[in-house]
A = this chain, B = another copy of it.
Amino acid sequence: MNAYARLKEKFSRIAVLDEAAAVLGWDAAAMMPAGGAAARGEQIAALAGLSHELLTASSIAEDLHSAEAPQDGWDEVNLEMMREAHLRATAIPTELVEAGSRANSACESIWRTARPNSDFAAVRPALEEVLNLTRQKAEILAEKLALTPYDALLTQYQRGIVAADVAPIFAEYEAFLRNALPEVEENQRRTPFEALPPGPYPASVQEILCRRLAQDAGLDFSHARLDRSAHPFCGGTPTDIRITTRYDEQDFCSALLGVLHETGHGLYEQNLPRLYMRQPVGAAAGMATHESQSLIVEMQAVRSDAYLSYLAPVLSEAFGAAITQGALKSRLRRVQRSFIRVEADELTYPAHVILRFRLEQAMISRELELRDLPQAWNEGLHALLGITPPDDRQGCLQDIHWYDGLFGYFPSYTLGAMAAAQLMAAARIALPQLDESLLAGDISGLIGWLAGNVHAKGSRFGFNALLTVATGEKLNPAAFRTHLLARYLPNRG
C-alpha cells in the first residue's frame, strides 16, 4: 500500500471514532438519564483523545511527507486537507491544548452564573485567560499557515474565506441596513398584523407534522431520527442523521421552523459524496456552508410566500384551527430591533454578527481590552441598530461562544445566510418551476439542485470557490439584499 492509501485508511479510522462520539453526543442530549453524564464525559473524552493520538501519530507525519495523491480534483485536496488537519493538531503544544481546555471549562462555568447576574466583572479574569490562550494558539497557527491570527481561527470553522473578504461585505450590509430598517419598520406599521389562533398545539401533532414536512423535504427516515432535546440540533452521522427539537404547545412555529432548519443540515450530510465517505474531502465544507443549507430551507424556501400559502391549510387541518398565510407571515417575518441575537429576525440578525465579528478581531489583535468590552459592545450595537442594552446580560454576556473559547465562529451565521440567498437565486434560474413547486409544498427540486451543486461537492472547494462553482461568482451579498427587499419591502418597486 502506498503512503496516500495508508493515510486514507488512517483518516477513515479517525472519522469512525468521530462518528461514535457523535452518536454518544446525541444520546447524551436526547436519551441519556442525568446520572450517566460523568461516565459519558469520559467516554467522549477518550474517543477525542484517541482520535487526536491517531491524527498526530508520527506514522501519519511520515506518510504525509512522502504521499502523492492522484490529481483528480479530489484526492489532491484530500491530501492537502490531511496535511492541514495534522498541522493544526500538532502545531499547538499539548500543555497549551490542555491549558486551553481547562480555561474554557472554568470560564464557561463562571459565565453560567455571571450571565443571569449581569456581572461581567466576575467572569472577566477567566475570559482574559481564555482569550490569552486562544491568542497564543492563533499566533502559532497563523505562523504555520501564513494567515493572520484571526484568520487562523476563522478558517478552522470555514475554509476559503478570510476576514479581509468579510469586512467589506459586512460594511456594505451595515450601510444597507441603516436605510432599509426604518423603511421596513414603517412598512410593517402600515401592514395589519394577523395573530395566529392561541393554541394549544399538542406536541404529538407538532411532531407528526415536523416528521412529515422533513420527509417531504427529502430527509430519508431510514437514515434519520427525530427526537426531543433541550437544545435543538442536527447530529449523528451521514447515514444516520439525528435531529432534535423541543415543542412549545403555545407556539408551533419554533419546532416547525427549527426542524426544517435542522433538516437542511441533515440533507447536506445525507447527500455528501459516498465515494469520499470518512475522508476530509468528503465531509461538509464548513460551518458557513452548513448554515447556508439550513437557511436555504428555513428562510428561503419555507418562509417564502409560495410555501407559506401551501403550509397554511396543512397546518389548519393538522391542528383543527384556522391558520392563514397572513398570520404565518405576521409571525414568521416580524422585524424587530432586539438585544438578543438568537431572537433576531433575518434582517437584523447580521447586525449582531457584524458586532461580534468586529469585537472579536479587536480582542484577538489586542486593540480592545476586555475591561472595555461592555462599553464597546453597547456602542457597537447602538451604531448598528440604534438601541443600547440595559445591562450586560442582554449585551456582551448573552452568548456562550467566547466564554467557551470559540472565536471566529460567529461570521459563519451571516455568511451562510448570504450564501443561501445567492444559491436560491441561482436555483431559481436553473429551475424555472421552483416557485410553482413551492406553492405545492414541494422543495424536492431545490434539494435536488443543492445535492448536485453543493452537497455532492463535499469539501472539494472552499467557501468562495464552492459558490463560484454553484452560482458563477464568489460570495456576492447583493442576492441577500435583493431577497430581503423583495420580502420586507415588496412595494418599493
Binding site for B on A (CB under 8 A): 13, 16-17, 19-20, 23-24, 27, 31-36, 38-40, 42-43, 46-47, 50, 220-225, 236-240
Contact = CB atoms under 8 A, between A and B. Distances in A.
Contacts of A42: 16
Copies of this chain:
2
A235 to B, nearest CB: 12
Nearest to A35: B223
A238 B16 CA distance: 25
A223 B24 contact: no
Given A24-B24, A38-B239, A43 B16 contact: yes
Contacts of A46: 13, 16-17, 20
Nearest to A16: B46
Contact of A27 (B23, B36, B39, B224): B23
A33 B27 CA distance: 14
Residue from A16, A23, A27, A238 having most chain B Cβ neighbours under 10 A: A23
Q: Is the interface of A mostly helix, strand, loop or mixed?
A: helix
Contacts of A47: 17, 20
A17 B36 CA distance: 15
Nearest to A20: B43
Nearest to A26: B27
Contacts of A238: 39
B224 A33 contact: yes
B20 A240 contact: no
Nearest to A18: B43
Given A31-B31, A33-B222, A33-B240, A39 B24 contact: no
Cβ-closest 3 pairs across A and B: A36-B240, A35-B223, A35-B222
Nearest to A224: B33
A237 B37 CA distance: 11
A239 B16 contact: no
A207 to B, nearest CB: 16
Given A24-B23, A24-B24, A27-B27, A239 B35 contact: yes
Given A16-B43, A46-B13, A240 B35 contact: yes
Contacts of A221: 33
Contacts of A36: 223, 236-237, 239-240
B20 A24 contact: yes
A35 B239 CA distance: 6
B27 A43 contact: no
Given A13-B46, A16-B43, A33 B225 contact: yes
Residue from A34, A222, A236, A239 having most chain B Cβ neighbours under 10 A: A239
Contact of A225 (B31, B43, B222): B31
A239 B40 CA distance: 9
A27 B24 CA distance: 9
14 contacts: A16-B42, A16-B43, A17-B43, A17-B50, A20-B46, A23-B23, A23-B43, A33-B221, A33-B222, A33-B240, A34-B222, A35-B222, A38-B239, A39-B239
Contacts of A27: 23, 27
Contacts of A16: 39, 42-43, 46
A20 B240 CA distance: 17
A31 B33 CA distance: 15
Nearest to A22: B43
A409 to B, nearest CB: 27
Nearest to A225: B33
Nearest to A220: B35
Nearest to A39: B239
Contacts of A34: 222
Nearest to A14: B46
A223 B38 CA distance: 11
